[in-house]
């Protein structure tokens, strides 16, 4: 990710603070080599307008710190802090703590330790348990030093558990003795964790436990021998990330609101397509993964995280599914604000923030759609965004791993917060309008290809007819045979619609079936996957159809709408495209004499081949 480092350098060079999008990218980057470069680039960061929260941090180490300072800086800037970091002199760990020889105005004091601080030089490998009293004494000495360092200070002191090096473990040959050494070591680490109970200002990071679940090695033997550097960049990044989370919780930089999509995020599948009984939730995989996510979200709510529902759906089926599906753990009352409508999500989130009286910078938004995440990121870059696409088994991890919602301690208000905010949210009305985020749509580079159905695409077209319920204008479901018969029929035309944007290829997402006479073209049905709704694709389709009809000499293009229980999203479509209602669900348009409804942000690809084949059919008819 050299772009991230370059963008940070550019911001620092211009004397400005990196924008919220860059800061969020810092938090969501796992690559230690990128972050150490980012941290170096941020060393000259200035914040003349005071947009970041100043934070003083001192590092006191019993070993070499390596790139820890750069990694800490990158992580802390990511959380919205402007850090001033002091690394106290090498080789003076105990003296620095005992005499308070660090920046006394520091809010955070990080102690970096390795096993050599605790192990006796003359460890008896035949009877390691004999070292027990020595380890206890070292721990007690450390506790005394911490007490001395914290006297008269309000700093939070951060310690960590210490890994037992594998080479030492393997040097002990007797299984029993090795077990004894391992036990001693776990007791030592338990003792380190207990220091947080002894000293209220101490926080202990379980580095050992975190390393066990990560892919990085604790140590690079070369750097340990060469430079007394006990931890790899990856291990130091784990520590720096935890320090960031502590700083964030301590400074009120954590987030309070979790806005969630429904379809393919809180359950598998699309409610509008499969109905409340058909969504994947609970039971075996993959439903189990979505149930686990709901359980985790519910646990976050118990700890004060305010939930917002942000779903493009009709409200009634959502309400029914949330109330009646037996595996749903997040009932409608769990959400303080519910934004279930077809309006752009960025606007919905802004309204939710207004209703809650909170800033959008306290929001985290989780959605599986590249389009929705992209739209929110473009309009509200301060919102932290979680990608819920891909493997559902990873959903819980994606939600919690960055520690967006950490707090130092839970208060009674935290636990009551979702209810308080729910009451506030209920006082507001969210009918949600159809406003267009045109700038975002323009930046999407939407390309729509409308082509006659072929032997290769007929199956997909029939599948769209069968499965699409929401944007399905007449409910007439042409099957594969009926659609294939239209390929060569002079009085019929079946077209498919493919969409690509800068996020990638959506594939074949729509189909339409048309009856043609010399004077009148009638759309028998138009089905469009709800994945691409609200981008204006449906208007580009009509634009192309009007063009084809005009080329064929037709005077009238006719559309129909037959309401169903699920297609309310398509209601009013023909009027919005410029058609005139004729009554009885029939709408008409004069090709060539009425304006092309294709939106300005869509590029239509009307391949020469497809146009020709339509013309040919027409000329045969005439």
Contact residues: another protein, CB under 8 A = 33, 36-37, 40, 66-67, 222-223, 226-227, 229, 233
* 455 Cβ neighbours under 8 A, 6+ residues apart: 484, 487
Distance from the first to the final alpha carbon of the chain: 60
Residue 205 CB, nearest distance to another protein (Å)?
Answer: 23
CA dist 328 and 383 (Å) reads: 26
The β-bridge relationship of strands 81-87 and 306-311 is unpaired
By CB neighbour count within 10 A (0-12 exposed, 13-18 middle, 19+ buried), where does 509 fall?
buried
For every residue of 312-378, DSSP letters joined together read -S-HHHHHHHHHH-TT--S-GGG-SEEEESSS-HHHHHHHHHHHHT--GGGEEEEES-HHHHHHHHH
Of 222 and 593, nearer to another protein (C-beta) is 222
CA dist 70 and 90 (Å) reads: 17
Residue 217 CB, nearest distance to another protein (Å)?
Answer: 12
Q: What does the H/E/C string look like for 467-536?
A: HCCCEECCCCCCCHHHHHHCCCCCCEEEEEEEEEECCEEEEEEEEEEEEECCCEEEEEEEEECHHHCCCC
Of 233 and 451, nearer to another protein (C-beta) is 233
Residues in the chain: 622
CA dist 617 and 622 (Å) reads: 9
With contact defined as beta carbons under 8 Å apart, do 530 and 471 qualify?
A: yes
Of 113 and 229, nearer to another protein (C-beta) is 229
Of 64 and 470, nearer to another protein (C-beta) is 64
Of 85 and 229, nearer to another protein (C-beta) is 229
Residue 166 CB, nearest distance to another protein (Å)?
Answer: 19
Where are the extended beta strands (E) located within 144-271?
156-160, 202-205, 257-260
Residue 32 CB, nearest distance to another protein (Å)?
Answer: 8
CA dist 80 and 609 (Å) reads: 54
CA dist 135 and 113 (Å) reads: 14
Residue 68 CB, nearest distance to another protein (Å)?
Answer: 12
With contact defined as beta carbons under 8 Å apart, do 123 and 130 qualify?
A: no
- Which of 222, 239, 96, 90 lies closest to 163 in space, CA to CA? 239
Of 9 and 520, nearer to another protein (C-beta) is 9
Buried/exposed code over 244-272 (b: 16+ C-beta within 10 A; e: otherwise): bbbbbbbbebbbbbbbbbbbbbbbbbbbb
Of 126 and 215, nearer to another protein (C-beta) is 215
Of 212 and 227, nearer to another protein (C-beta) is 227
CA dist 75 and 81 (Å) reads: 9
Of 66 and 591, nearer to another protein (C-beta) is 66
Residue 33 CB, nearest distance to another protein (Å)?
Answer: 4
CA dist 530 and 139 (Å) reads: 61
Of 127 and 227, nearer to another protein (C-beta) is 227
Residue 57 CB, nearest distance to another protein (Å)?
Answer: 19
Residue 222 CB, nearest distance to another protein (Å)?
Answer: 5
Rg (C-alpha) for the chain, rounded Å, is: 31
Instruction: Centre a 10 Å sphere on the Cβ of residue 388 and count the other Cβ atoms it contains.
Output: 24
Residue 102 CB, nearest distance to another protein (Å)?
Answer: 20
Of 61 and 494, nearer to another protein (C-beta) is 61
* 220 Cβ neighbours under 8 A, 6+ residues apart: 229, 232
Of 67 and 128, nearer to another protein (C-beta) is 67
* Kind and range of the H or E run holding 451: strand 446-452
Of 66 and 276, nearer to another protein (C-beta) is 66
Residue 231 CB, nearest distance to another protein (Å)?
Answer: 13
Residue 237 CB, nearest distance to another protein (Å)?
Answer: 12
CA dist 487 and 455 (Å) reads: 8
Residue 65 CB, nearest distance to another protein (Å)?
Answer: 10
Residue 605 CB, nearest distance to another protein (Å)?
Answer: 40
């Amino acid at each position: 990710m050299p772009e991230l480092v370059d963008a940070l350098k550019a911001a620092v060079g211009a004397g400005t603070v990196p924008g919220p999008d860059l800061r969020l990218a810092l938090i969501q980057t796992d690559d230690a080599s990128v972050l150490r470069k980012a941290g170096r680039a941020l060393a000259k960061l200035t914040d003349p307008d005071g947009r970041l929260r100043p934070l003083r941090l001192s590092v006191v180490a019993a070993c070499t710190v390596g790139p820890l300072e750069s990694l800490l800086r990158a992580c802390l800037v990511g959380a919205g802090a402007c850090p001033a970091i002091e690394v106290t002199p090498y080789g003076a760990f105990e003296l620095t703590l005992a005499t308070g020889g660090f920046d006394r105005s520091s809010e955070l004091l990080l102690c970096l330790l390795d096993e050599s601080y605790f192990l006796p030089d003359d460890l008896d490998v035949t009877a390691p348990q004999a070292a027990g009293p020595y380890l206890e004494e070292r721990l007690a000495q450390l506790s005394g030093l911490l007490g001395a360092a914290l006297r008269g200070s309000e700093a939070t002191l951060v310690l960590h558990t210490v890994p037992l090096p594998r080479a030492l473990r393997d040097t002990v040959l007797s299984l029993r003795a090795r077990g004894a050494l391992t036990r001693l070591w776990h007791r030592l680490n338990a003792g380190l964790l207990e220091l947080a109970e002894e000293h209220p200002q101490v926080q202990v990071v379980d580095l050992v436990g975190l390393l066990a679940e990560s892919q990085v090695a604790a140590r690079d033997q070369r750097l340990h021998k060469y430079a007394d550097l006990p931890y790899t960049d990856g291990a130091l990044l784990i520590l720096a990330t935890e320090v960031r989370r502590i700083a964030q919780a301590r400074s009120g930089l954590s987030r309070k609101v979790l806005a969630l999509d429904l379809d393919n995020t809180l359950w598998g599948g699309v409610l509008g397509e499969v109905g409340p009984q058909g969504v994947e939730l609970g039971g075996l995989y993959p439903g189990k993964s979505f149930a686990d996510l709901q359980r985790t979200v519910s646990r976050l709510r118990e700890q004060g995280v305010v939930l917002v529902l942000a779903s493009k759906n009709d409200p009634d089926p959502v309400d029914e599914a949330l109330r009646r599906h037996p595996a749903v753990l997040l009932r409608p009352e769990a959400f303080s604000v519910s934004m279930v409508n077809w309006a752009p999500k960025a606007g919905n989130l802004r309204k939710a923030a207004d209703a809650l009286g909170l800033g959008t910078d306290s929001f985290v938004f989780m959605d599986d759609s590249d389009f929705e995440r992209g739209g929110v990121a473009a309009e509200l870059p301060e919102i932290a965004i979680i990608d819920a696409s891909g493997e559902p088994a990873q959903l819980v991890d994606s939600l919690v791993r960055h520690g967006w919602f950490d707090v130092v301690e839970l208060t009674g208000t935290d636990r009551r917060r979702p209810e308080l905010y729910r009451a506030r949210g209920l006082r507001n009305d969210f009918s949600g309008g159809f406003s267009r985020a045109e700038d975002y749509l323009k930046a999407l580079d939407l390309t729509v290809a409308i082509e006659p159905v072929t032997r290769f695409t007929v199956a997909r077209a029939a599948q769209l007819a069968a499965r699409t319920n929401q944007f399905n204008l007449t409910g007439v479901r042409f099957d594969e045979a009926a659609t294939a018969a239209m390929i060569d029929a002079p009085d019929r035309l079946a077209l498919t619609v493919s969409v690509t944007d800068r996020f990638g290829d959506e594939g074949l997402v729509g189909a339409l079936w048309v009856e043609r006479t010399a004077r009148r073209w009638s759309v028998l049905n138009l089905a469009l996957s709800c994945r691409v709704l609200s981008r204006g694709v449906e208007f580009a389709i009509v634009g192309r159809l009007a063009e084809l009809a005009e080329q064929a000499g037709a005077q009238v293009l006719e559309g129909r709408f037959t309401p169903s229980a699920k297609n309310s999203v398509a209601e009013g479509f023909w009027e919005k495209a410029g058609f005139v209602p004729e009554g009885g669900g029939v709408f008409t348009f004069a090709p060539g004499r009425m304006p092309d409804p294709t939106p300005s942000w869509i590029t239509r690809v009307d391949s020469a081949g497809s146009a020709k084949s339509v013309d040919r059919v027409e000329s045969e008819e005439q």
